């Protein structure tokens, strides 16, 4: 059972009309008795110049003229009821009757509604104590045809839960079951129509449009939903306005509207007007010569001959419309022809009876030979909606009366009972499914049509269709004859699309008007946001003008790389040479060459070089915490020990040959107190403390470097330019300069002790290597930088090793005659003699 809701909004209006209605004779334009009465409300007459806001009664028989469209609609209802009454399967022992009303105006519509709500077989209305037991004349109502009239009748009929099925009211407001619980319809809601229009706009790429609505509920609600949906779809309404109810084609309001449409720059105009105001609007369009547009129409006027008959309308541009799906009622034309023949025959023998016979008519209806029996597409579509509505009521009655058992129950039924059954109907009518959703709307679709002018003749072509749940559009654009040259689809945009990877910067008030800004490298344009270049993640990169980011390549020098293999081979060879020299010196430890080279100190020197020689291995492969700690510190400490030994050895030679004779006491004190060893220890300790401080305060760690190359992540060790590292380099340079100085001072020593040339060469190679490293780092930061570091260290070690130890090895292995005490003593005597003579 439907939960009853009394309509407090409609009740005051209902009571205000009650007393005047009791004095009006309850006559309908057509009536036929039956077991159950269905009421119909149709616009038999047209009232174009009704003052909508003036509270006066409009008499239909004094209206502007006969409405052929409305005539076909109530004939469709009569035809459906006669079919049902003649059916042996639908309501087999029940006869349906009807009362048909001319709803030509608001006052006539109100009269018809109150008449329908009057008590059965009575012209009076009594407000009942229990609305569930209220029994009006009609158990259901078909009509009226538009939103404005339906809003009044639906409010009153819903108060008594009288089923009302409209064949033309498409406004979304009627889907609100809280306000209109007994309202249903056989035409889709404007909600779906607007969705279809927006899909059409998206299909053809139209994002800059004008929108015109009628100044009533139909236009207000339609344009409001259009505005909401276009905003969601990034479509802009450049100009929006409403055609006033009292508008005339040549008045100032309409002329200003035409000027605004022209000045907006839009090529597409959505016209969401009812048929009467659309007629006035297009007369103004023709008068102002607004052409070269695409006019997107609603089902209210898109295939109406009332609109196509506007003089000059064929030149306004391209018209694309949304219409109810094309349907036919087979036999309706023959039914109307037979009716007119019968009517003419009866009029030739007698004056029309007033009322009483169920086939008589109101004397004010002009049943003449001028009424066309061939229906237009628009009239046939609407007539089919009326036809479907009658069958929906009949199906509901069929179920309510228990007719599926074979015999229908007789007796009184109440409108709310029938309403429940109508909501549940689901049947096939001429191949089409008839049912209602939870909002009382039909489950159907739309046809998309375009106007086709063949000379002076007008017709339309179906170019597509739309359905919903989900929304879906199918359209064949090749069937459209565009008004543009070369039959091209018109462009209707405020700004042309940006190139790939360019963001929009809004210019003005509308987001459809913009300028394009190319996204810089490291940013990208996400398709979900066309207005902002978004930065890539830290592990990603992008070129200029990109729509996506790419993963950065991890860059380091792996162990298996050919460069790594060459470096490892060379460094291993150097370490083997150091080991070989140490072995050679151990076997010839007591020979003059080894003693003159430093004796046992040579092993410390070779060991420090070997320790420093392990450093290049730490530059290869992926950096780790251990390799980062060792790769520079090993070399710094080992090389400092070697330079300390070399410095003290050069100093000691100079001291022995040049100062010992002049300062014998100082020399003996230096020797007895182990001066050379103390110096090496102190000098090496200083470098050790520097390295410890460096590694503690500025600990080198594996890091990812993102700034050098946009597409790479370089794995390296941090702290390459830390103060601790720079201090260790500075101390090494200090030792190198000191060593060079003392070796240079000993350049005139005996040949066996004169190593100035070798040391100078070694240190020069060392300085050149590190200057080359600094220069390379300033211009290159690629993945081979660790290899360059390793190569510099190897060249430094190789230089000092070859400059200092290889000449000694040559003497030991190749010139044993020079490795004798006699030879060394002869060299010393020769040096002494030269010094004495000088």
Name the pTM for this structure: 0.65
pLDDT score, position 374? 65
pLDDT digits (tens, 9 = 90+) for 489-511: 999 999 988 898 999 999 988 88
pLDDT confidence of residue 9: 39
Encode pLDDT of 697-730 as tens digits: 999 999 988 888 888 888 888 877 789 889 998 9
pLDDT on residue 708: 82
Mean pLDDT throughout 626-630?
Answer: 92
Instruction: Give the per-residue pLDDT at 402.
Output: 94
Bridge partners, residue 466, by sequence: 446, 473
User: Nearest 5°: phi and psi at 438?
Assistant: -65, -15
Is the pLDDT at 1 greater than 50? The verdict is no
Pairwise CA distance, residues 471 & 188, whole Å: 13
Q: Is the pLDDT of residue 179 over 80?
A: yes
Q: What is the mean pLDDT of residues 269-285?
A: 95
pLDDT (0 to 100) of residue 808: 85
pLDDT of residue 758: 72
Looking at residue 214, its pLDDT comes to 94
Which band of pLDDT confidence, cut at 50, 70 and 90, is reported for residue 347?
low
Q: Average pLDDT of 97-116?
A: 88
Note the pLDDT tens digit of each residue in 45-75: 876 544 444 556 666 765 557 788 888 998 9
- Residue 557 has φ and ψ, to the nearest 5°, of -95, 105
As a whole number of angstroms, the distance between CA 464 and CA 320 comes to 11
pLDDT of residue 11: 46
pLDDT at 27 over 60: no
Q: What percentage of the chain reaches a pLDDT higher than 90?
A: 47
Between 817 and 242, residue with greater pLDDT: 242
Fold of 190-329+445-487: Rossmann fold (3.40.50)
**pLDDT at 599 (0 to 100):** 84
Reading the block at residue 460, the tokens are 């339309």
pLDDT at 35 > cutoff 90: yes
Cα 224 off chain centre by: 23
Confidence bin at 594 (pLDDT 50/70/90): confident
CATH code of the domain occupying 10-188+334-435 = 3.40.50.2300
18 has pLDDT over 50: no
Query: What does the pLDDT look like over 448-461, one tens digit per residue?
Result: 999 998 767 788 99
Q: How does 20-47 read in b/e, with b if 16+ C-beta sit within 10 Å? A: ebeeeebebbbbbebbbbbbbbbbbbbb
Top pLDDT among 837 and 180 is at 180
Query: What secondary structure does DSSP assign to 43-96, as a single string?
Result: --EE-SS--TTS-----GGGSSEE-HHHHHHHHHHHHHHHHHHT-SSSSTT--E
User: Is the predicted pLDDT of residue 272 greater than 90, yes or no?
Assistant: yes
Per-residue pLDDT for 10 more than 50? no
Distance CA 285, CA 295 (A): 11
The distance of Cα 701 from the centroid of its chain, to the nearest Å, equals: 42
What is the residue extent of each domain of the chain? Answer: 10-188+334-435, 190-329+445-487, 502-551, 562-837
Separation CA 169–CA 181 (nearest Å): 15
Which residue has better confidence, 370 or 740?
A: 740
Where does the pLDDT of residue 681 fall: very low under 50, low under 70, confident under 90, or very high at 90 and above? very high
Measured CA to CA, the distance from residue 362 to residue 352 in angstroms comes to 8
pLDDT band at 662 (very low <50, low <70, confident <90, very high): low
- Three-state DSSP string of 341-398: HHHHHHHHHCCCCCCCCCCCCCCCCCCCCCCCCCCCHHHHHHHHHHHHHHHHHHHHHH
pLDDT, position 353: 40
190-329+445-487: same fold as 10-188+334-435? yes
Best CA proximity match to 764, nearest among 785, 722, 795? 795
From the options 1.10.3720.10, 1.10.540.10, 3.40.50.2300, 1.20.1070.10, give the CATH code of 562-837: 1.20.1070.10
Pick the more confident residue, 381 or 392.
Answer: 392
According to DSSP, residue 442 is labeled B
- pLDDT-based confidence at 127, cuts 50/70/90? low
Any idea which of 103-117, 329-343, 355-369, 399-413 has the lowest mean pLDDT? 355-369
pLDDT of residue 661: 55
Residue 211 near residue 269 (C-beta atoms within 8 A)? yes
Longest dimension (CA), the chain: 172
């Amino acid at each position: 059972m439907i939960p009853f809701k009394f309509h407090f909004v409609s009740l005051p209006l209902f009571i205000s009309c009650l007393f005047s209605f009791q004095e009006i004779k309850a006559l309908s334009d057509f009536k036929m008795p039956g077991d159950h009465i269905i009421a119909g409300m149709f616009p038999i007459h047209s009232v174009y110049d009704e003052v909508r806001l003036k509270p006066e009664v409009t008499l239909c028989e004094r209206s502007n003229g006969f409405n052929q469209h409305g005539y076909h609609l109530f004939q469709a209802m009569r035809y459906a009821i006669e079919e049902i009454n003649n059916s042996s399967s639908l309501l087999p022992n029940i006869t349906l009757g009807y009362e048909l009303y001319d709803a030509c105006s608001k006052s006539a519509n109100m009269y018809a509604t109150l008449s329908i709500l009057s008590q059965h077989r009575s012209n009076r209305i009594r407000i009942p104590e229990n609305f569930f037991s209220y029994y009006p004349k009609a158990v259901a109502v078909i009509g009226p045809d538009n939103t404005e009239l339906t809003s009044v009748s639906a409010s009153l009929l819903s108060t008594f839960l009288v089923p009302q099925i409209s064949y033309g009211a498409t406004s979304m407001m009627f889907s609100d079951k809280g306000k209109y619980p007994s309202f249903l319809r056989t035409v889709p809601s404007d909600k779906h129509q607007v969705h279809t229009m927006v899909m059409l706009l998206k299909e053809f790429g139209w994002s800059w449009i004008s929108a015109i609505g009628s100044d009533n509920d139909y236009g207000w609600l339609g344009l409001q939903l259009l505005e909401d949906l276009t905003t969601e779809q990034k479509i802009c309404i450049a100009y929006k306005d409403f055609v006033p109810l009292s508008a005339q084609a040549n008045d100032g309001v309409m002329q200003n509207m035409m000027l605004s449409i022209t000045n907006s720059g839009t090529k597409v105009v959505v016209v969401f007007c009812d048929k009467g105001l659309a007629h006035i609007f297009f007369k103004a369009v023709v008068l102002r010569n607004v052409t070269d547009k695409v006019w997107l129409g609603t089902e209210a006027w898109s295939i109406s001959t009332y609109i196509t008959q506007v003089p000059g309308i064929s030149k306004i541009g391209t018209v694309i419309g949304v219409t109810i799906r094309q349907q036919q009622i087979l036999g309706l034309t023959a039914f109307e022809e037979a009716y007119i023949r019968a009517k003419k025959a009866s009029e030739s023998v007698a004056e029309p009876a007033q009322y009483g016979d169920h086939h008589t008519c109101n004397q004010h209806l002009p049943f003449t030979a001028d009424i066309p029996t061939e229906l237009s597409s628009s009239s046939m579509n609407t007539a089919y909606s009326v036809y479907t509505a009658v069958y929906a009521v009949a199906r509901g009655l069929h179920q309510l009366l228990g007719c599926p058992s074979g015999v229908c129950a007789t007796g009184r039924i109440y409108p709310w009972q029938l309403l429940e059954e109508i909501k549940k109907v689901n049947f096939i009518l001429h191949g089409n499914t008839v049912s209602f959703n939870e909002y009382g709307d039909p489950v159907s679709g739309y046809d998309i049509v375009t106007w086709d002018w063949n000379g002076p003749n007008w017709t339309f072509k179906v170019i597509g269709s739309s359905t919903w749940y989900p929304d879906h559009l199918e359209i064949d654009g090749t069937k459209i004859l565009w008004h543009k040259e070369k039959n091209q689809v018109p462009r209707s945009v405020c700004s042309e699309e940006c190139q790939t990877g360019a963001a929009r910067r809004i210019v003005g008030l509308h987001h459809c008007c913009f300028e394009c800004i190319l996204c810089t490298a490291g940013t990208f344009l996400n398709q979900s946001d066309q207005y902002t270049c978004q930065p890539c993640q830290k592990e990603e990169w992008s070129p200029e003008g990109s729509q996506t980011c790419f993963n950065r390549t991890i860059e380091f020098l792996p162990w298996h790389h050919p460069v790594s293999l060459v470096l490892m081979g060379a460094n291993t060879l150097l370490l083997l040479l150091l080991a070989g020299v140490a072995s050679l010196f151990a076997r010839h430890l007591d020979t003059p060459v080894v003693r003159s080279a430093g004796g046992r100190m040579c092993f410390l020197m070779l060991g420090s070089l070997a320790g420093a020689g392990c450093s290049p291995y730490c530059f290869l492969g992926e950096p780790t915490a251990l390799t980062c700690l060792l790769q520079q510190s090993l070399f710094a400490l080992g090389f400092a020990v070697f330079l300390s030994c070399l410095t003290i050895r050069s100093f000691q030679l100079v001291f022995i040959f040049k100062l010992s004779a002049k300062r014998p006491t100082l020399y003996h004190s230096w020797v007895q107190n182990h001066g050379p060893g103390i110096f090496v220890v102190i000098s090496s300790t200083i470098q050790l403390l520097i390295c410890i401080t460096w590694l503690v305060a500025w600990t080198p760690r594996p890091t990812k470097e993102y700034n050098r190359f946009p597409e790479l992540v370089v794995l390296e060790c941090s702290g390459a330019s830390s103060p601790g590292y720079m201090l260790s380099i500075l101390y090494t340079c200090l030792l190198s300069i000191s060593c060079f100085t003392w070796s240079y001072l000993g350049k005139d020593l005996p040949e066996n002790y004169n190593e100035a040339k070798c040391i100078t060469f070694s240190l020069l190679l060392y300085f050149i290597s590190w200057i080359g490293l600094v220069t390379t780092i300033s211009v290159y930061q690629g993945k081979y930088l660790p290899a360059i570091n390793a190569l510099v260290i190897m060249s430094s070690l190789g230089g000092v090793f070859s400059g200092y130890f290889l000449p000694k090895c040559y003497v030991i292995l190749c010139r044993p005659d020079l490795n004798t005490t006699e030879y060394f003593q002869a060299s010393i005597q020769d040096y002494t003699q030269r010094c004495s003579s000088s």
